Structure 1
Amino acid sequence: MNTREAKEILQLYRRPVDDADPQFREALTHAQRDPELAEWLQEQTRCYDAIRAKLREVEPPIDLPQKIIRTRPIPFARKWNEILKLAAAIFLSASITAIGFKLSEHKRRSIPQGQEITVKGEVLDMTCYIAYNLSGPEHASCARDCIRSGLPVGIKTENGKVYLLTGNAGKPVNTELADYAAKVVIIKGKKSIRDGFAQLQVEEIRKF
Protein backbone atom coordinates (compact mmCIF):
# COMPACT_ATOMS: atom_id res chain seq x y z
CA MET A 1 0.00 0.00 0.00
CA ASN A 2 1.36 3.42 -0.96
CA THR A 3 0.54 6.82 0.52
CA ARG A 4 -2.04 7.68 -2.13
CA GLU A 5 -3.93 4.43 -1.57
CA ALA A 6 -3.77 4.81 2.21
CA LYS A 7 -5.08 8.36 2.02
CA GLU A 8 -7.99 7.34 -0.21
CA ILE A 9 -8.98 4.67 2.31
CA LEU A 10 -8.55 6.96 5.31
CA GLN A 11 -10.86 9.57 3.79
CA LEU A 12 -13.63 7.16 4.84
CA TYR A 13 -12.18 6.39 8.28
CA ARG A 14 -14.55 6.80 11.23
CA ARG A 15 -13.07 6.08 14.61
CA PRO A 16 -13.75 3.94 16.57
CA VAL A 17 -16.25 2.28 14.20
CA ASP A 18 -13.62 1.29 11.62
CA ASP A 19 -10.73 0.43 13.95
CA ALA A 20 -11.28 -3.32 13.63
CA ASP A 21 -11.43 -3.29 9.83
CA PRO A 22 -8.24 -4.87 8.36
CA GLN A 23 -8.19 -2.44 5.44
CA PHE A 24 -8.28 0.57 7.73
CA ARG A 25 -5.72 -0.99 10.09
CA GLU A 26 -3.28 -1.35 7.21
CA ALA A 27 -3.83 2.25 6.15
CA LEU A 28 -3.43 3.47 9.75
CA THR A 29 -0.17 1.54 10.07
CA HIS A 30 1.06 3.22 6.89
CA ALA A 31 0.12 6.62 8.32
CA GLN A 32 2.25 5.93 11.39
CA ARG A 33 5.26 5.62 9.08
CA ASP A 34 4.44 8.72 7.03
CA PRO A 35 4.57 12.00 9.02
CA GLU A 36 2.81 14.04 6.31
CA LEU A 37 0.00 11.50 6.01
CA ALA A 38 -0.26 11.31 9.81
CA GLU A 39 -0.67 15.09 9.99
CA TRP A 40 -3.36 14.99 7.29
CA LEU A 41 -5.17 12.16 9.10
CA GLN A 42 -5.17 14.16 12.32
CA GLU A 43 -6.88 17.06 10.55
CA GLN A 44 -9.28 14.72 8.74
CA THR A 45 -10.25 13.00 11.99
CA ARG A 46 -10.64 16.32 13.77
CA CYS A 47 -12.96 17.52 11.02
CA TYR A 48 -15.06 14.34 11.11
CA ASP A 49 -15.27 14.39 14.91
CA ALA A 50 -16.43 18.01 14.83
CA ILE A 51 -19.24 17.20 12.40
CA ARG A 52 -20.26 14.10 14.32
CA ALA A 53 -20.26 15.97 17.63
CA LYS A 54 -22.51 18.68 16.23
CA LEU A 55 -24.94 16.15 14.79
CA ARG A 56 -25.04 14.26 18.09
CA GLU A 57 -26.32 17.42 19.74
CA VAL A 58 -29.57 17.01 17.80
CA GLU A 59 -32.09 15.25 20.04
CA PRO A 60 -34.30 12.72 18.19
CA PRO A 61 -37.79 11.85 19.46
CA ILE A 62 -37.72 9.58 22.52
CA ASP A 63 -39.63 6.80 20.74
CA LEU A 64 -37.53 6.88 17.55
CA PRO A 65 -35.64 3.59 18.23
CA GLN A 66 -38.89 1.66 18.71
CA LYS A 67 -40.32 3.08 15.50
CA ILE A 68 -37.20 2.18 13.56
CA ILE A 69 -37.26 -1.37 14.91
CA ARG A 70 -40.90 -1.79 13.94
CA THR A 71 -40.07 -0.33 10.49
CA ARG A 72 -43.15 1.84 10.67
CA PRO A 73 -43.35 5.24 9.00
CA ILE A 74 -42.15 7.91 11.39
CA PRO A 75 -44.53 10.88 11.85
CA PHE A 76 -42.67 14.17 11.69
CA ALA A 77 -44.37 16.70 13.92
CA ARG A 78 -43.55 20.38 13.73
CA LYS A 79 -40.81 20.16 16.36
CA TRP A 80 -39.14 17.24 14.58
CA ASN A 81 -39.21 19.15 11.30
CA GLU A 82 -37.47 22.00 13.06
CA ILE A 83 -34.88 19.56 14.38
CA LEU A 84 -34.26 18.26 10.86
CA LYS A 85 -33.73 21.78 9.58
CA LEU A 86 -31.36 22.42 12.45
CA ALA A 87 -29.45 19.23 11.66
CA ALA A 88 -29.04 20.32 8.06
CA ALA A 89 -27.84 23.75 9.15
CA ILE A 90 -25.36 22.22 11.59
CA PHE A 91 -24.09 19.85 8.92
CA LEU A 92 -23.51 22.69 6.47
CA SER A 93 -21.97 24.89 9.13
CA ALA A 94 -19.58 22.16 10.20
CA SER A 95 -18.68 21.50 6.58
CA ILE A 96 -17.83 25.16 6.08
CA THR A 97 -15.73 25.10 9.24
CA ALA A 98 -13.89 22.11 7.83
CA ILE A 99 -12.60 24.28 5.00
CA GLY A 100 -10.22 25.88 7.45
CA PHE A 101 -8.78 22.49 8.32
CA LYS A 102 -8.13 21.74 4.66
CA LEU A 103 -6.59 24.96 3.37
CA SER A 104 -3.02 23.79 3.79
CA GLU A 105 -3.85 20.52 2.05
CA HIS A 106 -5.31 22.35 -0.95
CA LYS A 107 -2.20 24.49 -1.22
CA ARG A 108 0.08 21.45 -1.25
CA ARG A 109 -1.80 19.28 -3.68
CA SER A 110 -4.50 19.75 -6.33
CA ILE A 111 -7.10 17.03 -6.77
CA PRO A 112 -8.42 15.89 -10.16
CA GLN A 113 -12.09 16.80 -10.51
CA GLY A 114 -14.93 15.61 -12.70
CA GLN A 115 -13.91 12.00 -13.38
CA GLU A 116 -16.96 10.12 -14.65
CA ILE A 117 -17.64 6.87 -12.80
CA THR A 118 -20.45 4.36 -12.27
CA VAL A 119 -21.02 2.95 -8.79
CA LYS A 120 -23.40 0.50 -7.17
CA GLY A 121 -24.41 0.79 -3.55
CA GLU A 122 -26.92 1.64 -0.83
CA VAL A 123 -28.58 5.05 -0.78
CA LEU A 124 -27.85 6.69 2.58
CA ASP A 125 -29.37 9.34 4.77
CA MET A 126 -26.02 10.99 5.50
CA THR A 127 -27.11 12.71 8.71
CA CYS A 128 -28.09 9.51 10.53
CA TYR A 129 -25.23 7.58 8.95
CA ILE A 130 -22.55 10.00 10.14
CA ALA A 131 -24.07 10.81 13.52
CA TYR A 132 -25.42 7.38 14.52
CA ASN A 133 -23.99 4.90 11.98
CA LEU A 134 -27.54 4.00 10.87
CA SER A 135 -28.16 2.34 7.51
CA GLY A 136 -29.76 -0.77 6.03
CA PRO A 137 -33.37 -1.90 5.53
CA GLU A 138 -34.31 -1.39 9.20
CA HIS A 139 -33.52 2.31 8.78
CA ALA A 140 -35.31 2.71 5.43
CA SER A 141 -38.37 4.58 6.67
CA CYS A 142 -36.40 7.13 8.67
CA ALA A 143 -33.86 7.54 5.86
CA ARG A 144 -36.62 8.13 3.32
CA ASP A 145 -38.21 10.86 5.44
CA CYS A 146 -34.86 12.52 6.16
CA ILE A 147 -33.89 12.55 2.48
CA ARG A 148 -37.29 13.92 1.46
CA SER A 149 -36.95 16.69 4.04
CA GLY A 150 -33.80 17.90 2.29
CA LEU A 151 -31.05 16.43 4.46
CA PRO A 152 -27.86 15.29 2.69
CA VAL A 153 -28.09 12.06 0.71
CA GLY A 154 -25.24 9.74 -0.19
CA ILE A 155 -24.33 6.31 -1.46
CA LYS A 156 -22.17 3.62 0.14
CA THR A 157 -20.55 1.51 -2.54
CA GLU A 158 -19.78 -2.19 -2.42
CA ASN A 159 -16.18 -1.50 -1.37
CA GLY A 160 -17.29 0.74 1.50
CA LYS A 161 -16.56 4.10 -0.12
CA VAL A 162 -19.16 6.77 0.62
CA TYR A 163 -20.07 9.63 -1.72
CA LEU A 164 -22.22 12.68 -1.04
CA LEU A 165 -24.70 12.84 -3.93
CA THR A 166 -25.50 16.13 -5.66
CA GLY A 167 -27.26 17.20 -8.82
CA ASN A 168 -26.13 19.46 -11.62
CA ALA A 169 -24.47 22.65 -10.40
CA GLY A 170 -24.69 21.36 -6.82
CA LYS A 171 -28.48 21.10 -6.85
CA PRO A 172 -29.95 18.45 -4.52
CA VAL A 173 -31.25 15.16 -5.89
CA ASN A 174 -33.33 14.31 -2.84
CA THR A 175 -36.64 14.04 -4.68
CA GLU A 176 -35.25 11.51 -7.15
CA LEU A 177 -33.49 9.44 -4.48
CA ALA A 178 -35.90 9.47 -1.52
CA ASP A 179 -37.80 6.36 -2.66
CA TYR A 180 -34.49 4.51 -3.03
CA ALA A 181 -33.52 5.07 0.62
CA ALA A 182 -31.67 2.02 2.01
CA LYS A 183 -31.97 0.30 -1.39
CA VAL A 184 -29.18 -0.66 -3.77
CA VAL A 185 -28.98 1.42 -6.94
CA ILE A 186 -26.52 2.06 -9.75
CA ILE A 187 -25.50 5.68 -10.19
CA LYS A 188 -23.47 7.24 -12.96
CA GLY A 189 -21.93 10.63 -12.34
CA LYS A 190 -18.88 12.83 -12.01
CA LYS A 191 -16.63 12.20 -9.04
CA SER A 192 -14.94 15.04 -7.18
CA ILE A 193 -13.51 15.85 -3.76
CA ARG A 194 -14.30 19.10 -2.01
CA ASP A 195 -12.89 20.01 1.40
CA GLY A 196 -12.22 16.36 2.13
CA PHE A 197 -15.69 15.12 1.14
CA ALA A 198 -16.02 12.70 -1.79
CA GLN A 199 -18.90 13.83 -4.00
CA LEU A 200 -20.70 12.38 -6.97
CA GLN A 201 -22.66 14.67 -9.27
CA VAL A 202 -25.52 12.42 -10.35
CA GLU A 203 -26.17 12.03 -14.07
CA GLU A 204 -28.14 8.78 -14.12
CA ILE A 205 -29.91 6.61 -11.53
CA ARG A 206 -30.74 2.97 -12.24
CA LYS A 207 -32.57 0.59 -9.94
CA PHE A 208 -30.54 -2.54 -9.23
Structure 2
Amino acid sequence: MRWIAVTAAAIAIVAVTGAAWLYTRAPGDDPFAPCRSAAVAGGTGAIGGSFTLVDKDGQTVTDKDVITKPSLVYFGYTFCPDVCPLDSARNAEAADLLAERGYDVTPVFITIDPERDTPQVVGEFAEVFSDRMIGLTGSPEQVKAASQAYRTYYKKQDGDDEYYLVDHSTFTYLVLPETGFAEFFRRDTTPEQIAQTAACFIDHS
Protein backbone atom coordinates (compact mmCIF):
# COMPACT_ATOMS: atom_id res chain seq x y z
CA MET A 1 0.00 0.00 0.00
CA ARG A 2 2.88 2.33 0.80
CA TRP A 3 4.32 1.91 -2.71
CA ILE A 4 0.91 2.60 -4.23
CA ALA A 5 0.70 5.79 -2.19
CA VAL A 6 4.21 6.85 -3.21
CA THR A 7 3.48 6.13 -6.87
CA ALA A 8 0.23 8.08 -6.73
CA ALA A 9 2.02 11.02 -5.12
CA ALA A 10 4.69 10.95 -7.82
CA ILE A 11 2.06 10.94 -10.56
CA ALA A 12 0.31 13.88 -8.91
CA ILE A 13 3.56 15.85 -8.77
CA VAL A 14 4.22 15.19 -12.47
CA ALA A 15 0.69 16.25 -13.35
CA VAL A 16 0.96 19.47 -11.37
CA THR A 17 4.39 20.21 -12.83
CA GLY A 18 3.13 19.56 -16.34
CA ALA A 19 0.14 21.82 -15.81
CA ALA A 20 2.38 24.55 -14.48
CA TRP A 21 4.67 24.17 -17.50
CA LEU A 22 1.73 24.49 -19.89
CA TYR A 23 0.45 27.50 -17.98
CA THR A 24 3.76 29.33 -18.07
CA ARG A 25 4.44 28.43 -21.68
CA ALA A 26 1.05 29.47 -23.10
CA PRO A 27 1.50 33.27 -22.94
CA GLY A 28 4.86 33.01 -24.69
CA ASP A 29 3.39 30.90 -27.47
CA ASP A 30 0.46 33.27 -28.04
CA PRO A 31 1.18 37.00 -27.55
CA PHE A 32 -2.58 37.62 -27.45
CA ALA A 33 -3.30 35.09 -24.70
CA PRO A 34 -4.08 37.80 -22.09
CA CYS A 35 -6.73 39.24 -24.43
CA ARG A 36 -8.60 36.13 -25.55
CA SER A 37 -11.96 35.29 -24.05
CA ALA A 38 -12.60 31.98 -25.84
CA ALA A 39 -10.98 29.48 -28.14
CA VAL A 40 -11.89 29.36 -31.82
CA ALA A 41 -12.72 25.98 -33.33
CA GLY A 42 -10.00 25.16 -35.81
CA GLY A 43 -7.78 27.97 -34.52
CA THR A 44 -7.75 31.66 -35.40
CA GLY A 45 -6.16 30.88 -38.75
CA ALA A 46 -9.42 29.26 -39.85
CA ILE A 47 -11.20 32.65 -39.93
CA GLY A 48 -10.49 35.56 -42.25
CA GLY A 49 -8.28 35.91 -45.26
CA SER A 50 -8.21 37.64 -48.59
CA PHE A 51 -11.26 39.08 -50.32
CA THR A 52 -12.07 41.21 -53.35
CA LEU A 53 -15.07 43.54 -53.08
CA VAL A 54 -16.36 46.92 -54.30
CA ASP A 55 -16.33 50.16 -52.31
CA LYS A 56 -18.82 53.04 -52.27
CA ASP A 57 -17.17 54.62 -55.32
CA GLY A 58 -17.52 51.45 -57.37
CA GLN A 59 -13.81 50.70 -57.16
CA THR A 60 -12.60 47.15 -56.74
CA VAL A 61 -10.67 46.76 -53.48
CA THR A 62 -9.01 43.88 -51.67
CA ASP A 63 -8.52 43.15 -47.99
CA LYS A 64 -5.08 44.77 -48.26
CA ASP A 65 -6.71 48.03 -49.37
CA VAL A 66 -9.40 47.96 -46.69
CA ILE A 67 -7.77 46.57 -43.56
CA THR A 68 -4.86 48.98 -43.26
CA LYS A 69 -5.45 49.45 -39.54
CA PRO A 70 -7.24 47.45 -36.83
CA SER A 71 -10.79 46.86 -38.07
CA LEU A 72 -14.17 45.70 -36.79
CA VAL A 73 -15.63 43.65 -39.65
CA TYR A 74 -19.35 42.92 -39.81
CA PHE A 75 -21.48 41.10 -42.40
CA GLY A 76 -25.06 42.32 -42.78
CA TYR A 77 -27.39 44.13 -45.18
CA THR A 78 -28.89 47.59 -45.37
CA PHE A 79 -32.52 46.43 -45.64
CA CYS A 80 -32.15 44.59 -42.33
CA PRO A 81 -35.00 45.87 -40.14
CA ASP A 82 -33.28 45.90 -36.75
CA VAL A 83 -30.22 43.74 -36.06
CA CYS A 84 -27.78 45.24 -38.58
CA PRO A 85 -28.47 48.90 -37.71
CA LEU A 86 -28.11 48.15 -34.00
CA ASP A 87 -24.89 46.19 -34.48
CA SER A 88 -23.46 48.83 -36.83
CA ALA A 89 -24.25 51.58 -34.33
CA ARG A 90 -22.62 49.50 -31.58
CA ASN A 91 -19.46 48.96 -33.66
CA ALA A 92 -19.28 52.66 -34.55
CA GLU A 93 -19.57 53.55 -30.86
CA ALA A 94 -16.81 51.09 -30.00
CA ALA A 95 -14.57 52.72 -32.61
CA ASP A 96 -15.35 56.14 -31.11
CA LEU A 97 -14.47 54.91 -27.62
CA LEU A 98 -11.18 53.56 -28.94
CA ALA A 99 -10.47 56.86 -30.70
CA GLU A 100 -10.92 58.66 -27.38
CA ARG A 101 -8.19 56.40 -25.98
CA GLY A 102 -5.85 57.03 -28.88
CA TYR A 103 -6.58 53.92 -30.98
CA ASP A 104 -7.43 54.29 -34.67
CA VAL A 105 -9.90 51.51 -35.57
CA THR A 106 -12.03 51.17 -38.70
CA PRO A 107 -15.55 49.71 -38.66
CA VAL A 108 -16.19 47.74 -41.88
CA PHE A 109 -19.66 46.78 -43.12
CA ILE A 110 -19.79 44.03 -45.78
CA THR A 111 -23.19 43.36 -47.32
CA ILE A 112 -24.54 39.86 -47.82
CA ASP A 113 -27.29 41.26 -50.08
CA PRO A 114 -25.47 42.48 -53.21
CA GLU A 115 -28.69 42.33 -55.22
CA ARG A 116 -30.04 45.45 -53.49
CA ASP A 117 -26.94 46.87 -51.81
CA THR A 118 -25.22 48.82 -54.55
CA PRO A 119 -21.98 50.70 -53.86
CA GLN A 120 -23.97 53.89 -53.30
CA VAL A 121 -26.42 52.20 -50.92
CA VAL A 122 -23.75 50.60 -48.71
CA GLY A 123 -21.75 53.82 -48.76
CA GLU A 124 -24.68 55.89 -47.54
CA PHE A 125 -25.58 53.25 -44.95
CA ALA A 126 -22.08 53.26 -43.51
CA GLU A 127 -21.88 57.05 -43.39
CA VAL A 128 -25.05 57.19 -41.29
CA PHE A 129 -23.20 55.49 -38.45
CA SER A 130 -19.66 56.85 -38.76
CA ASP A 131 -17.42 58.71 -41.15
CA ARG A 132 -14.86 56.03 -40.27
CA MET A 133 -17.05 53.14 -41.43
CA ILE A 134 -16.31 51.53 -44.79
CA GLY A 135 -19.22 49.99 -46.71
CA LEU A 136 -18.46 47.19 -49.17
CA THR A 137 -20.46 45.19 -51.69
CA GLY A 138 -19.60 43.18 -54.80
CA SER A 139 -20.85 40.53 -57.13
CA PRO A 140 -22.71 37.58 -55.58
CA GLU A 141 -19.59 35.50 -56.11
CA GLN A 142 -17.31 38.06 -54.43
CA VAL A 143 -19.65 38.44 -51.46
CA LYS A 144 -19.96 34.68 -51.06
CA ALA A 145 -16.18 34.26 -51.12
CA ALA A 146 -15.71 36.94 -48.44
CA SER A 147 -18.43 35.39 -46.29
CA GLN A 148 -16.89 31.94 -46.58
CA ALA A 149 -13.48 33.31 -45.62
CA TYR A 150 -14.96 34.57 -42.36
CA ARG A 151 -17.16 31.50 -41.92
CA THR A 152 -20.36 33.55 -41.80
CA TYR A 153 -23.82 32.32 -42.73
CA TYR A 154 -26.53 33.97 -44.80
CA LYS A 155 -29.60 32.83 -46.72
CA LYS A 156 -32.24 34.80 -48.58
CA GLN A 157 -35.75 34.08 -47.32
CA ASP A 158 -38.51 33.10 -49.70
CA GLY A 159 -41.30 35.59 -50.08
CA ASP A 160 -41.73 39.11 -51.35
CA ASP A 161 -39.55 39.76 -54.38
CA GLU A 162 -38.83 43.34 -53.31
CA TYR A 163 -38.92 43.31 -49.51
CA TYR A 164 -37.34 39.94 -48.77
CA LEU A 165 -35.31 39.36 -45.62
CA VAL A 166 -31.96 37.61 -45.29
CA ASP A 167 -31.07 35.28 -42.43
CA HIS A 168 -27.46 35.77 -41.39
CA SER A 169 -24.94 35.36 -38.60
CA THR A 170 -24.20 38.43 -36.51
CA PHE A 171 -20.61 38.20 -35.32
CA THR A 172 -18.26 41.16 -35.44
CA TYR A 173 -14.62 40.33 -36.15
CA LEU A 174 -11.56 42.18 -34.91
CA VAL A 175 -8.97 42.00 -37.69
CA LEU A 176 -5.41 43.31 -37.45
CA PRO A 177 -3.53 44.29 -40.62
CA GLU A 178 -0.39 42.38 -39.74
CA THR A 179 -1.79 39.23 -38.15
CA GLY A 180 -5.34 38.94 -39.54
CA PHE A 181 -8.31 37.73 -37.52
CA ALA A 182 -7.84 38.24 -33.79
CA GLU A 183 -11.18 37.94 -31.99
CA PHE A 184 -14.94 37.81 -32.52
CA PHE A 185 -17.74 39.55 -30.65
CA ARG A 186 -21.32 38.42 -30.16
CA ARG A 187 -24.37 40.62 -30.34
CA ASP A 188 -24.59 41.02 -26.58
CA THR A 189 -21.06 42.41 -26.32
CA THR A 190 -21.19 46.07 -25.34
CA PRO A 191 -19.24 48.88 -27.05
CA GLU A 192 -17.15 49.24 -23.90
CA GLN A 193 -16.27 45.54 -23.87
CA ILE A 194 -15.32 45.61 -27.55
CA ALA A 195 -13.16 48.68 -27.00
CA GLN A 196 -11.41 47.14 -24.01
CA THR A 197 -10.68 43.85 -25.80
CA ALA A 198 -9.63 45.53 -29.04
CA ALA A 199 -7.25 47.81 -27.15
CA CYS A 200 -5.65 44.75 -25.52
CA PHE A 201 -5.04 43.07 -28.86
CA ILE A 202 -3.65 46.26 -30.39
CA ASP A 203 -1.32 46.77 -27.45
CA HIS A 204 0.00 43.21 -27.81
CA SER A 205 0.37 43.30 -31.58
TM-score (norm 2): 0.24
Q: Which has the larger radius of gyration?
A: 2
